[in-house]
Amino acid sequence: MFEEVGTTDTGDLIINVGPQHPATHGVLHLIITLNGEVIKKVEPHLGYIHRSIEKMCESLSYRQFIYVTSRMDYLSSHINNHGCAMVVEKAMQIEIPPRAQVIRVLMDELTRIASHVLWWGALAMDVGALTPFFHAFRERELINSIMEETCGARLTMNYMVPGGVMFDLHPHFQHRVKEFISEFRSKIDEYDEMVTDNAIFKARTVGVGILSKEDAISFGCSGPTARGSGVSCDIRKLYPYEVYNQLEFEEPLETAGDTYARYLVRMRELRQSLSIVEQLVDNIPEGEFQAKTKAVLKLPKGEFYSRIETARGEFGVFIVSDGGSTPYRIKFRSPGFSNLNTLDQISRGHKIGDLVAIMGSLDLVIPDIDR
């Protein structure tokens, strides 16, 4: 994992972390300056998985470009697709059927749970606990199986379309989701018993990697990273979309700003997302699952923006249209890029052994950052 690069005039050691090692949660390269075991500087280097996605989208139709975003934050692919569909609908003033709105939110929250569960297992493994990783995959498989049955895929589902969703729900969907709710509620308690209240885990995370509220705002952080520092930034609450304004759920906030606080926010979000799914699963309206739209979509001339809350924070989609069937310019605002920028500041003064725990608490998906 570590490769020595050299030393400075002051005797500090400069080492590489990555870009190959899976502990960096993707193809990320860090150049770290150390004084003994103490971190003096962390310099992230991106570009190892850059695919020019924004430029690719400018040559794709308004139906096609949506699915390229599945390959950015692949653990929030449903939600990314949803955000892209929303900006097209906003520009064309398409009215979404109530059934499609509820299905979208159900899929979003199941995706959020699956993402947070995988993050929980990976973070525990990063700090030395292997068993939780297998437990996480056990529960995530239940959601993947539901997704596969309805959407035909397990990771990049390509289910959202302008106007609604591509297919109606599978006949077994409600039954299987209810089974999952019953099964998963007890599993969250199991997670807390295994990791949350574990003395060794707390020793590795409490007081480590502190991000102040002011710095979280200054860096433009969003999602659980910002909420762990006391910043209220949940798009579902601040700018409700679909049926979120009709639901009862809380925005978990912690004020400590450390690795453990970011952990607690995501664990509380698991319960909130489960509650949202429970509120909706028996209240799916009848009717159409997709609004009627033209085969070839052309946005009116102008600039359009939409935002959505992914598992990692605010995902924004900005489109400049010249009136044609493809975007003139497109720009994505991904949550991981801003959150990664904090790594240098919150790691300084900590030991090299703390770095992976700090990175894990940011929940980085590198293709989301290096797009």
Give the type of residue at 105: V
Tell me the mean pLDDT in the region 321-342: 94
- Output b/e per residue, 179-188; b: 16+ Cβ within 10 A: ebeeebeebb
- Output b/e per residue, 284-303; b: 16+ Cβ within 10 A: beeeebbbebeeebbbeeee
342 in Cβ contact with 216 (< 8 Å): yes
* pLDDT reading at 341 higher than 60: yes
353 in Cβ contact with 36 (< 8 Å): no
Q: What is the pLDDT of residue 48?
A: 85
* pLDDT reading at 4 higher than 90: no
- pLDDT category, 331, cuts 50, 70, 90? very high
Instruction: Give pLDDT tens digits for 27-39.
Output: 888 999 999 999 9
Instruction: Give pLDDT tens digits for 100-132.
Output: 999 999 999 999 999 999 999 999 998 989 999
Tell me the mean pLDDT in the region 264-287: 96
Q: What's the CATH fold of domain 53-369? A: Cytochrome-c3 Hydrogenase; chain B (1.10.645)
Neighbours of 118 (CB within 10 A): 18
* pLDDT reading at 207 higher than 80: yes
- The domain spans of the chain are 2-45, 53-369
| Cα separations in angstroms, 9 against 17, 31, 35, 190, 196 | 21, 17, 12, 50, 43
Q: What is the pLDDT of residue 28?
A: 86
Instruction: Give pLDDT tens digits for 225-239.
Output: 999 999 999 999 999
Q: What is the pLDDT of residue 9?
A: 59
The distance of Cα 149 from the centroid of its chain, to the nearest Å, equals: 23
Would you call 116 helix, strand, or coil by DSSP? Answer: helix
What is the share, in percent, of the chain residues with pLDDT greater than 70?
A: 96
Tell me the mean pLDDT in the region 213-226: 96
